[in-house]
Structure 1
């Protein structure tokens, strides 16, 4: 990213001044994206850790009946999501009072506390630790996309915001392989040695510590500063992040768009209290359309069944015929690799070239079809956990179907809802709306994760059929209601959502004029004479940018 454009950025980014792709922006990206590892490591770890004999012995799970074991492991896995729902709600006031930067830092410390508590072999402490760590994960899941979107140049905003999801899947993959590695420890006493499961859980302390060390050195988001009456400091931070002079056309366009948004909100709306903000969300049509769209995307994101696969992948692979604990963990590890590699492709190429809409539609169809196959296979072949010999042919196809599911997930529902929620809301209501969206995300996560062991026992193949039908329903909603956001400025979303949501498919792809807020576009068209003072930054990039604007 530093020093120029690359395969990681869109063709539109090549028209921007090269100076904006710099080491300071890269440092900010890495610092904040560590938060994705909180979610990924915990989600990937716990499913495998629950199958380790040493963990079962440490927490007394090996002495329980099947039903009691299902209930307890469901509670252990789901407690992170319960904390996540609380953290997502609490993230909004901290984001608006402390600022985006110090909120990310605060919730990073909360996550570290919870992760440390999970290392103690006591069931009550484990549950409390997972709830506290979950609060850190839930808050970070809201704050991180917000922070990245508010600091990103619009030409690579999708790529930068999606990097959070890339880190989720990187750590998820790594956690799967760590679980596989520790499952191979066969020295005497391994089944009663706490080192095995502590190694798997302790890895999540590393990204938490790295983020907390690096965050103090990144700048606060200009949009937050300007929205809170610190316009001079906001302009200063834009200049720092973009490494361009204050009078450069690129800086002036970005700054004026933010100022125009803030002026509009101050003229039309009174106060920043949460009651006033919530009232504006539900009574102003354009705001409610954005809110409804984001909430529905998060619901369909969860209704694909990803949490069941992430938390209980080893058992699901055993259900379709994979034999042995280590074999199921190995197959789960490959599942993590497929997710991660596909997400790299999404972040590097799709999100800011092809966009958000088309990959999501294609990916969701792949996910639904894979779930439909699993449902039909288990319906007519039954579970294969008792069969003798290797994995049956239909089970092998089932493994491939799960990998196809992972492929579709990684450039579909995995990323889209995070990116869209971070992009579409005006600054004044962004924290509250994103906080509620992520509350929905985590509370549904809790319900699905807690219920999955019992659902698989009671419903069997019906679980996968339910996920397939819900995901197909999501495809219909996405087609009609989700516009393409690639290349649009955050402030231009006001113009876009003046239209009814169900007509978005007719206006899905923006013209060049629609990528900039209309009042700023009119102003810049009247001021083509703006010329950058810094000779080094003159050139075709700046000229093209102002003409595009």
Structure 2
């Protein structure tokens, strides 16, 4: 279990009952986290596939003008994000009305259908397949972090939720290397052999099938059940996931916090329809601040320029002087390895020990600086002059900075917005708010991906300068407005966000009292005090009798 590594480092995990870190939780983690591979494979393979001679021949990219080629490549790559925006919106009602578990399963089926359609050598069918698969990707990008966060013990909630992102970058890396492998195929007529591009494209079906086979055997989230009036079944599922009896203090604390939040939500607005949810978001200061924070985190997440690198990494490496073809694909493969290794370190060690805030601030600063270097290098260097020889010295430094960018991305924006959105909202509005966040995420992704080939052709170095400035701006916003979520229960966020958002830096790190919902803490303390008083009275009576 990715979160299992954090057990050895997180102070909160060390005091938890050992029983809660069990094989049942591990199975749930693996089954649901396959959803991250949807995004990783579908994003990672298309950039390399677009450069394969067999793909270019099959989809008519060889004998067209540069403008038409840019448009077609942009449309093919961005169609995934267009579907993702639709899937993210549609995932909210399915999550709220048929449950988290069967929503994950249903959208997994949608993804597999879309992935299969992409294997057909027809331009229109390819676009339809990428859109349908994109719907599965977009829905899973919302549902998977939500499902993992709602089922996780709070001491390893960050690492469990971030396993979704680990699966993204791992699959992204594998896709890069598969592309590199098929690009090395060399035999007469390889440009007419559809098996070359289909081998790279078809690998994404594997995680989709695994998710659909495994998810039916995981339990529904207790928070969903309790929020929909099935408290008894919710308690049973907590006991099942934690492998503890219902009267255990750990189970009772978790159950009472969820019940208290549900009770508070129903006192404010009774019901679950989206008009009530909408009012709950925009008439509650605490809820609106959480919504605004999450939306801004997703916007700054996209403004780092990561989609341009993910989709068009081979072309960007060629832009700074790396020879196009297998050399740029090899450099891209190493880029994927750097992201994966850094994410493993983040998920296994940092997110539940150091937290979300500090790694994000450091990682985003590294990303911005890397983009600034690329902008200045391309502005003041003619990279075409040395294209006959090897990569110029400045280009090699540029490669290093892109790897530093990958390192910073994996420690920050790659994970933080997903984890924060999954853990910060109350149960009743969580699906709706996350759906809007991920819709924004995917619609901006679509715009950036669709425009990147044209932007690089028209703007050149200005693209990277724009990403650098926006990422630096994001660092300032994060410093002032993002509190640390590590160690807090999901239900304690209500109390935290009663404070003004711009003052969060003053209250970024929780005290022991702030890690639990206030009313539940007071109730538990009252019961403990009552037990102590009762014991004291018994001792007095015993002395008087003696």
Q: Considering the TM-score relative to the shorter chain, is it more than 0.5?
A: yes
Q: Offset of 1:270 from its aligned partner? A: 2.2
Aligned counterparts of 1:203 and 1:272: Cα–Cα separation in 2: 40
Query: CA shift at 1:64, angstroms?
Result: 1.2
Matched, 1:200 2:195: no
- Change in Cα spacing, 1:386 to 1:124, as seen in structure 2 (3 Å) is farther
The 2-side partners of 1:85 and 1:264 are apart by 32
Aligned counterparts of 2:150 and 2:297: Cα–Cα separation in 1: 21
Indicate the residue corresponding to 2:98 in structure 1: 98
Counterpart contact for 1:309–1:316, Cα < 8 Å: yes
Q: Contact (CA 8 Å) 1:108, 1:140: kept in 2 or not? A: yes
Alignment-derived partner of residue 311 in structure 1: 311
1:343-384 CA-to-partner distances (Å, cap 9, x unmatched) read: 000001100000000000000000000000000000000333
Aligned to 1:294: 294
Q: Secondary structure at the match of 1:63?
A: coil
- Unaligned stretches of 5+ residues in structure 1: 532-549
* CA-CA distance at 1:324 after TM superposition: 3.1
| Compared CA separation, residues 235 and 405, structure 1 to 2 (3 A) | same
Structure 1 match to 2:539: none
CA apart distance, 1:101 = 0.1
Matched-pair contact (CA < 8 Å) for 1:22–1:242: yes
**What is the deviation of 1:530?**
10
Residues in 2 aligned to 1:95 and 1:65: alpha-carbon distance in whole angstroms = 45
CA distance in 2, matches of 1:506, 1:326: 50
- Cα distance, 1:77–1:3 mapped onto 2, change above 3 Å: closer
Tell me the residue number matched to 1:125.
125
What is the rounded CA distance, in whole Å, between the counterparts of 2:285 and 2:64 in structure 1? 53
1:171 correspondence with 2:171 = yes
Counterparts of residues 71-220 of structure 1 (less than 5 Å): 71-220=71-220
SS at match of 1:358: helix
Look up the SS of the partner of 1:527 in the other structure: helix
Bigger drift between 293-302 and 183-192 goes to 183-192
Question: What is the alpha-carbon distance in structure 2 between the residues aligned to residue 385 and residue 50 of structure 1?
Answer: 26
The TM-score, its normalising length taken from structure 1, stands at 0.95
Cα distance, 1:4–1:143 mapped onto 2, change above 3 Å: closer
Structure 2 residue 530 is the aligned partner of structure 1 residue 506: no
Q: Secondary structure at the match of 1:323?
A: coil
Q: Is the 8 A contact 2:492 2:518 kept in 1?
A: yes
Deviation of residue 10 (structure 1)?
Answer: 1.4
| Structure-1 residue corresponding to 2:234 | 234
Q: Contact 2:2/2:159 (CA < 8 Å) preserved in 1?
A: no
- Counterparts in 2 of 1:310 and 1:530: CA distance versus 1, 3 Å: farther
Instruction: Indicate the residue corresponding to 1:378 in structure 2.
Output: 378
1:477 — aligned with what?
477
- Distance in 2 of aligned mates of 1:47 and 1:185: 18
**Where in structure 2 are the equivalents of 1:51-70 lying within 5 Å?**
51-70=51-70
Deviation by residue 1:278-301 (Cα, 9 ceiling, x = unmatched):
122112111110000000000000
| 1:341 is the counterpart of 2:341 | yes
Tell me whether 1:442 sits opposite 2:442 in the alignment.
Answer: yes
The equivalent of 2:396 in structure 1 is 396
**Number of equivalenced pairs:** 531
1:188 Cα deviation after fit = 1.4
Whole-Å separation in 2 of the counterparts to 1:2 and 1:437: 25
SS in 1 for 2:414: helix
CA distance in 2, matches of 1:63, 1:100: 47
The 5 A counterparts of 1:263-302 are 263-302=263-302
8 Å CA contact 1:85, 1:438 repeated in 2 = yes
Residue matched to 2:327: 327
Counterpart-to-counterpart distance in 1, 2:207 and 2:319: 33
Query: Offset of 1:271 from its aligned partner?
Result: 1.9
Query: What is aligned with 1:544?
Result: none
Matches within 5 A, 1:31-42: 31-42=31-42
Distance (whole Å) between structure 1 residues aligned to residue 310 and residue 2 of structure 2: 34
The Cα offsets for residues 161-185 of structure 1, whole Å up to 9 and x where unpaired, read as 0000000000000000000000000
Question: Do the aligned residues in 2 keep the contact of 1:318 with 1:384 (CA within 8 Å)?
Answer: no
Alignment of 1:248 onto 2:245: no
In the alignment, which residue of structure 2 is the partner of 1:540?
A: none
Contact 1:321 1:385 in 2 (8 A): no
Unaligned runs of 5+ in 2: 532-546
1:485-504 correspondence to structure 2 within 5 Å:
485-504=485-504
TM-score by length of 2: 0.96
Distance 1:412 1:217 in 2: 33
* CA 284–385 in structure 1, closer or farther in 2 if over 3 Å, else same: farther
Counterpart of 2:544 in structure 1 is none
Q: What corresponds to 1:14 in structure 2?
A: 14
Displacement of 1:5 after TM fit?
Answer: 7.3
Q: Distance in 2 between matches of 1:211 and 1:272?
A: 29
Match of 1:509, SS state, is coil
Assess if the C-alpha contact under 8 Å between 1:294 and 1:421 holds in 2: yes
Q: Secondary structure at the match of 1:188?
A: coil
Distance in 2 between the 1:109 and 1:18 partners? 35
Counterpart contact for 1:138–1:442, Cα < 8 Å: yes
TM-superposition CA deviations, 1:370-426 (whole Å, max 9, x none): 000000000000333763200000000000000000000001000000000001100
SS in 2 for 1:62: coil
Judging changes above 3 Å, is the alpha-carbon distance between structure 1 residues 32 and 158 closer, same or farther for their aligned structure 2 residues?
same
Of 184-193 and 127-136, the range deviating more from structure 2: 184-193
Closer/same/farther in 2, CA of residues 506 and 444 from structure 1, 3 Å limit: same
| Rounded Cα–Cα distance in structure 2 between residues aligned with 1:419 and 1:299 | 15
* SS in structure 2 of the partner of residue 61 of structure 1: coil
* d(CA) in 1 for partners of 2:46, 2:528: 57
Cα separation, 2, equivalents of 1:158 and 1:530: 35
Whether the 8 Å CA contact 2:6–2:348 is kept in 1: the answer is no
Q: Which moves more between the two structures, 387-396 or 100-109? A: 387-396
